Amino acid sequence: MIDIEANLSKTAKEMASVGITDNIRLGDDDSYVRIINQVLLPNELVYKNIYELEDAWWAVKKLEIRGAPAIGIFAGYMMYVQARKYAEFEYESFKEAFRKDKEYLNSCRPTAVNLSWALNRVFKIVEEHSDVKEIIGLLKEEAFRIHMEDIEMCANICEYGLSLLEEGDGVLTHCNSGPLATSFGTAQGPFLLAKARGINVHVFADETRPLLQGARLTSFELDRAGVDVTLICDNMASIVMKNGWIQKCFVGCDRIAANGDVCNKIGTSAVAILAKHYGIPVYSLGPTSTIDMNRPDGDHIKIELRDPEEIKTMWYEKPMAPETVKCYNPCFDVTDHTMISGIVTEKGIVYPPFDINLKKLFE
């Protein structure tokens, strides 16, 4: 079994000293997965134990657990918890039950590639072995391995991301890609690493409508860590850029196409367009597992549409729009690769031309 704390690298330990480290973990008796319920932040820090697959499906769907890498880690642990319930099955029955559970959980968030990536990874173990008890043990090891790998990927991403920052930089970020969305952080991780090393940067966090991940989560994480952070409404990004307060933009990614088009939280594309106008570089930070070489460009990425009530009623005491009005509520948008200055991965920083250089990561 992998001892996560004992195997942390120096960089990961530095980040752990300032960031959240317990947003996802396997329960003490292996019968549940414990998460921080992100819907309740920042007003309540509540841990939730997930025992059943249906509850796991809804936890992801309702964004109690969110962020592409975090969903992948969660899926690995949850499929192990679920597999334990089939310990007395014959192999073929076990495999079929596991396959159905995998497909069911995969249906809750179609855009975040880490979900299908993690589910296919653990299912491969089921396909390659035939002893059920052995499989269950291997699934537990693989779930820990997925988690451990993400921690080290985050640490490497943050080292590369930090290399792009200078003392006193102003950095705009959108949505949330810190420890809550991953293990230790991707696009927001370099700010935590900078804090741990005494490097001062000033972060401007978009509130990120309509689910307010920037307001509720990013500002919560960074303020808690002692990072100098200023919260702004999404439509204030232009003025802070015009004022000369922004030197770089760091954003996450839920899926990256083979040509470098970046699918990320809705509003990311607008940030990139503004940044291009003001001559500010935009970097997308995320693990190579979010790069989908089977999608030639952003037009081939399915965009999830969410409940209109997230716009009209979710954060308000009274509805803020007529009950009968139609709403268009896409969860993500695609930033054209021509707007991206570099893609920061655990293997290094990839620069244009992306259609050529992204392939090299997988050679």
- In this structure, is residue 287 part of a structural domain? yes
Same domain, 179 and 295: yes
Q: Identify the CATH number of the domain in which residue 316 sits.
A: 3.40.50.10470
Query: Is the same domain home to 198 and 249?
Result: yes
DSSP bridge partners of 356: none
H or E, element range at 98: helix 91-106
Q: Does the residue 7 lie in any domain?
A: no
Per-residue pLDDT, 80: 98
Q: Are residues 75 and 141 in the same domain?
A: yes
pLDDT per residue as tens digits for the range 191-200:
999 999 999 9
Spatial CB neighbours of 326, under 8 Å, sequence gap ≥ 6: 308
- Region 4-24 average pLDDT: 87
How many other C-beta atoms are found inside a 10 Å radius of the C-beta of residue 7?
12
Is the distance from CB of 47 to CB of 35 less than 8 angstroms? yes
Say if residue 4's pLDDT is above 80.
no
Say if residue 202 is in the same domain as residue 126: no
Q: Verify that 337 and 286 share a domain, yes or no.
A: yes
C-alpha neighbours within 13 Å on the C-beta side of residue 79: 37
The answer on 197 and 102 residing in a single domain is no
User: Concatenated DSSP letters for 18-67?
Assistant: TS---SEEE-TTSS-EEEE-GGGTTT---EEEE-SHHHHHHHHHTTSS-S
Is 254 designated active site?
Answer: yes
Q: Which of 101, 150, 206, 254 is catalytic?
A: 254
pLDDT digits (tens, 9 = 90+) for 289-307: 889 999 999 999 999 899 9
| Torsion angle of the four alpha carbons 152, 153, 158, 164, in this order, in degrees rounded to the nearest 10 | 140
335 phi, psi to nearest 5 deg = -95, 125
* Residues 8-27, mean pLDDT to the nearest whole number: 90
Question: 132-162 and 189-196 helices cross at what angle (nearest 10)?
Answer: 70
39-84 confidence digits (pLDDT tens)? 999 999 999 999 999 999 999 999 999 988 899 999 999 999 999 9
Domain containing residue 94: 12-155
Q: 142: exposed, middle or buried (C-beta count within 10 Å: 0-12, 13-18, 19+)?
A: buried
pLDDT given for residue 289 in this prediction:
82
Please give the full DSSP string across 74-94, using - where no structure is assigned: HHHHHHHHHHGGGTTS-HHHH
Confidence of residue 174 (pLDDT cuts 50, 70, 90): very high
What is the count of structural domains for the chain? 2
**Each residue of 107-140: pLDDT tens digit?**
988 666 789 989 999 999 999 999 999 999 999 9
Q: How confident is the model at residue 162 (pLDDT cuts 50, 70, 90)?
A: very high
At 112, give phi and psi (nearest 5°). Answer: -70, 105
